[in-house]
């Protein structure tokens, strides 16, 4: 399981979603850092023995343990990690992640919470009238006397400042997202929201 928490890079270029934030990951002895070829082999007298692309390396506390590549089709990940704690059972690393999801095609669907790789990041968006919240199909339809009017939501479509907006779905093949947002403010032209985006990946 991977958890991340920080400000995103933003929606990214047209046709992609981009996120970035710090991560803290525990790699169980004998297992891989999810989605990578980095394996924790075990604790030794001088530090941690790991395998990187099939080659063994000794890592001490504070040493780097980086990985960059395609987590899966359409998902690029850049992990910049440092060894934080070495135990017999787990190697704990901390650092940052940058993630790009290309060609998203959001549609409502329950998330696959059993997917092996997961990130959770804070997000903040300004959504122009008629546009969708990035990573979702929820659109902003404008300011009304009842509040911000949303499109493509189930039930009551209006939100006041501080009200929640929750949406989950699939953004591309084997990639799911859950948005847990709050309405910050809205005008006739735009809606501002902030909260978290949790993404699951099944490489």
Q: pLDDT tens string for the chain (203 positions)?
A: 444 443 344 445 568 999 888 889 999 999 999 999 999 999 999 999 999 999 999 999 999 999 999 999 999 999 999 999 999 999 999 998 899 999 999 999 999 999 999 988 888 999 999 999 999 999 999 999 999 999 999 999 999 999 999 999 999 999 999 999 999 999 999 999 999 989 999 99
Residue 95 and residue 131 in one domain: no
Q: Could you tell me the pTM of the whole model?
A: 0.85
Residue 96 and residue 113 in one domain: no
Residue 123 and residue 87 in one domain: no
Domain boundary among 83, 102, 121: 102
Residue 89 and residue 131 in one domain: no
Domain that includes residue 44, residue range: 3-102
Domain boundary among 51, 81, 102: 102
Contact predicate 94/24, CB 8 Å:
yes
Residue 92 and residue 119 in one domain: no
> pLDDT of 129-160, one tens digit each?
999 999 999 999 999 999 999 999 999 999 99
Q: For residue 66, what are the CA distances in angstroms to 1, 32, 177, 178, 192?
A: 17, 13, 25, 27, 35
Residue 79 and residue 116 in one domain: no
Task: Give CA–CA dist 125/130, Å, rounded.
Answer: 14
In this structure, the strands spanning 190-201 and 117-128 are antiparallel
Whose structure tokens read 């990041």?
121
The per-residue DSSP string of 25-83 comes to EEEETT-BPTTSSEEEEEEETTEEEEEETTEEEEE-TT-B--EEEEEETTEEEEEEEEE
Task: Give CA–CA dist 52/30, Å, rounded.
Answer: 13
Q: What is the DSSP letter of 167?
A: E
Q: What is the DSSP letter of 188?
A: S
Q: Which two tokens stand for residue 122?
A: 């804070």
């Amino acid at each position: 399981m991977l958890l991340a928490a920080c400000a995103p890079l933003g929606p990214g270029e047209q046709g992609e979603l981009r996120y970035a934030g710090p991560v803290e990951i525990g790699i169980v002895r004998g297992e891989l850092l999810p989605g990578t070829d980095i394996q924790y082999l075990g604790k030794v007298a001088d530090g941690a023995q790991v395998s990187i692309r099939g080659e063994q390396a000794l890592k001490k506390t504070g040493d780097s343990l980086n990985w960059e590549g395609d987590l899966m089709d359409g998902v690029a990940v850049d992990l910049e990690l440092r060894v934080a704690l070495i135990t017999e059972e787990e190697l704990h690393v901390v650092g940052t992640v940058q993630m790009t999801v290309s060609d998203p095609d959001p549609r409502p669907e329950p998330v696959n919470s059993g997917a092996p790789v997961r990130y959770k990041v804070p997000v903040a968006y300004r959504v122009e009238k008629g546009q969708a919240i990035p990573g979702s199909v929820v659109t902003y339809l404008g300011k009304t006397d009842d509040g911000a009017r949303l499109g493509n939501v189930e039930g009551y479509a209006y939100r006041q400042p501080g009200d929640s907006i929750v949406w989950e779905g699939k953004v591309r093949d084997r990639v799911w997202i859950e948005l847990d947002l709050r309405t910050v403010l809205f005008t006739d032209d735009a809606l501002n929201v902030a909260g978290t985006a949790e993404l699951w990946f099944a490489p």
